[in-house]
Amino acid sequence: VSCRICGGKIQARHEVPEAMFGTGEVFPYEECGTCGSLQIETIPDDLDALYPPGYYTHARGPARPGPPPGWRGRLERRWLRHQAGLFDPLGWLLSLRWRHPPRFVRWLKLARTSTRAHVLDIGCGAGTILEWMARLGFRRLEGIDPHLRHERDDGTIRLRRLRLEQVLEGPFDLIMLHHVLEHVPDPIATLRQARAMLAPGGRLLVRMPVMGTEAWRRYGVHWIQLDAPRHLHVMTTAGLAAAARQARLAVDATAFDGTSFGFWASEQARGGESLTSCPEPQVSDERLAAWEAEAERLNARGEGDSAAYRLVPASGRETAGRKPT
């Protein structure tokens, strides 16, 4: 038996309980001795059956971070644009006064893109993330999701019920996989497909849980980001680097983005409570704020339980001698 990500030898086996719906099932996972990633032992035959209609990404998310209407909203949008690394002199000025932007601008900044970019969001759910980007001025936004309930196209955002291999348009300047790669049966193949759809100078933005960090050490099989059996591979940073290499990509930048969710939901899971029965933290505001602060400290140390990665096509010797797919 070997690691499906790096080919390394399996060194440990873990029994991971289902924690979202509280089905009471337990799934065997294998831990790689080389890259440290975790993989489900047997990939379920019917993956679609794992996502019931109420699965959270398909509900329309809260419309945050919605700037208020009027001039205040317009200024806020300019400020967010600068915080996201987009060209905006007025936003820069505002940033001298306004602090603490919402989290999503951090990964947008990591993507190092522009509002002219042709963007594809793979596994877009209800399209919430594309809506945030549209508010900042992006105009060529496409989302695909095989489980999408309502297709729509308003000229700025187009959402379609498609699998990646069915997308014929392109190329794209930015392809995003927000908490998607851990759900696909062959993440290396998915990265290869995405790479083939990149425009010159294009990049991928991958966000996913990070195996082997503090949350795993603290909560083990109850760490909420394992999400058995839906997460088929939970990669370490080394695991993602290995997967990227095999897809002729290189990890160009990393930003850890764990939140208090990793704490309160894992605590809850360890206590036998499912996420569906208890979707909100049942702790004091002080406790939650302390976890939020701890998550930020861990992120700063590279120990957060999730991360955003910027991936670019590998160049030079690294790709030499490999057959393009």
Question: Quick one: which of 3, 94, 110, 210 contacts Zn ion (CB under 5 A)?
Answer: 3
Q: Is 8 in the site for Zn ion (CB under 5 A)?
A: yes
Span of 33-41, 175-183, 213-221, 311-319 interacting with Zn ion by CB under 5 A: 33-41
Nearer to Zn ion, 105 or 208 (CB): 208
- The rounded distance, in Å, linking the Cα atoms of 122 and 148 is 11
Minimum CB separation of residue 271 from Zn ion in Å reads: 31
Contact 299, 236 (CB under 8 A): no
Span of 28-36, 57-65, 70-78, 107-115 interacting with Zn ion by CB under 5 A: 28-36
Phi then psi for 83, rounded to 5 degrees?
-60, -30
Q: Is 32 in the site for Zn ion (CB under 5 A)?
A: yes
Q: Is 5 in the site for Zn ion (CB under 5 A)?
A: yes
| Residues forming a β-bridge with 233 | 39
Minimum CB separation of residue 250 from Zn ion in Å reads: 18
Minimum CB separation of residue 4 from Zn ion in Å reads: 8
Q: Strand order of the sheet with strand 38-40?
A: 10-17, 26-32, 38-40, 233-234
CB-count exposure of residue 69 (10 Å: 0-12, 13-18, 19+): exposed
Q: What amino acid occupies position 99?
A: R
Q: Is 119 in the site for Zn ion (CB under 5 A)?
A: no
Nearer to Zn ion, 6 or 191 (CB): 6
Pairing of strands 140-144, 118-122: parallel
Span of 37-45, 63-71, 133-141, 293-301 interacting with Zn ion by CB under 5 A: 37-45
Q: Is 265 in the site for Zn ion (CB under 5 A)?
A: no
Residue whose C-alpha is closest to residue 81's, from 91, 68, 71: 91
DSSP notation for 130-167: HHHHHHTT--EEEEE-TT-S--EE-SSEEEE---GGG-
Nearer to Zn ion, 39 or 128 (CB): 39
Span of 29-37, 69-77, 91-99, 189-197 interacting with Zn ion by CB under 5 A: 29-37
Nearer to Zn ion, 20 or 32 (CB): 32
DSSP, res 228 = T
Question: Quick one: which of 16, 19, 20, 35 contacts Zn ion (CB under 5 A)?
Answer: 35
Nearer to Zn ion, 10 or 90 (CB): 10
- The rounded distance, in Å, linking the Cα atoms of 140 and 314 is 26
Nearest-5° angle of CA 63, CA 79, CA 123?
40
Residues 133-152, interacting with Zn ion (CB under 5 A): none
Minimum CB separation of residue 3 from Zn ion in Å reads: 3
Span of 27-35, 48-56, 186-194, 274-282 interacting with Zn ion by CB under 5 A: 27-35
**Both tokens of residue 130?**
């594309």
* Total of chain residues touching Zn ion, rule CB under 5 A: 8
Nearer to Zn ion, 246 or 254 (CB): 246
Q: Is 197 in the site for Zn ion (CB under 5 A)?
A: no
Minimum CB separation of residue 212 from Zn ion in Å reads: 11
- The rounded distance, in Å, linking the Cα atoms of 260 and 287 is 10
Interior/surface letters 5-28, b for 16+ CB within 10 angstroms, e for the rest? bbebebeeebebbbbbebeeeebe
Span of 11-19, 25-33, 76-84, 250-258 interacting with Zn ion by CB under 5 A: 25-33
Positions that interact with Zn ion (CB under 5 A): 3, 5-6, 8, 32, 34-35, 37
